[in-house]
């Protein structure tokens, strides 16, 4: 990887770099977590069990899960139901003049 000359960067450039690095780390950790979960679920299925059976956890009943309403255009794995805390990618898009309607899942 090329060395980045941090001393020659402005404060705004450094903050933007910090924000991008944070997002990259979060995305990497999320992918690793999902891959690990998929591997564990596959191993459980190969042995004739579900992950819930092996962990003793049963899916919660009575609480309806809202389907996603919005999707990140560049990373379709990132979705949002429109409820709860607004994800960073949606906040960034709205700050850049885009509309929530631009991200609706059709």
Domain, as residue range, for 43: 9-58
pLDDT of amino acid 62:
65
Does position 76 have pLDDT exceeding 70, yes or no? yes
**pLDDT band with cut points at 50, 70 and 90 for residue 8:** very high
pLDDT tens track for 22-73? 999 999 999 999 999 999 999 998 999 888 888 888 766 667 778 999 999 8
Residue 38 within a domain? yes
- Mean per-residue pLDDT of the chain: 90
Does position 1 have pLDDT exceeding 80, yes or no? no
Q: Cβ(72)–Cβ(105) under 8 Å?
A: no
Q: How many domains does the chain have?
A: 2
pLDDT of amino acid 3:
87
Sequence-distant (≥ 6) Cβ neighbours of residue 14 within 8 angstroms: 6
- H/E stretch holding 70 reads strand 70-71
Residues 16 and 39 in one domain: yes
The C-alpha angle 78, 99, 30, rounded to 5 degrees, equals 15
Residue 3 within a domain? no
Residue 90 within a domain? yes
Q: Cβ(78)–Cβ(87) under 8 Å?
A: yes
Question: DSSP label at 6?
Answer: G
Give me the percent of the chain exceeding a pLDDT of 90.
67
Q: Which residue has the tokens 């069990």?
A: 49
Residues 81 and 47 in one domain: no
State the Cα–Cα distance between residues 57 and 76, nearest whole angstrom.
29
């Amino acid at each position: 990887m090329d060395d980045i000359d941090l001393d020659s960067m402005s404060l705004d450039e450094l903050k933007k770099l910090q924000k991008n690095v944070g997002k990259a780390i979060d995305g990497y950790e999320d992918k690793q977590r999902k891959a690990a979960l998929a591997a564990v679920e596959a191993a459980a299925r190969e042995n004739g069990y579900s992950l819930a059976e092996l962990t003793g956890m049963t899916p919660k009943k009575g609480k309806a899960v809202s389907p996603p309403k919005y999707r990140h255009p560049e990373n379709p794995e990132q979705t949002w139901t429109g409820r709860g805390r607004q994800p960073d990618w949606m906040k960034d898009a709205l700050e850049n003049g885009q509309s929530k309607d631009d991200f609706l899942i059709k």
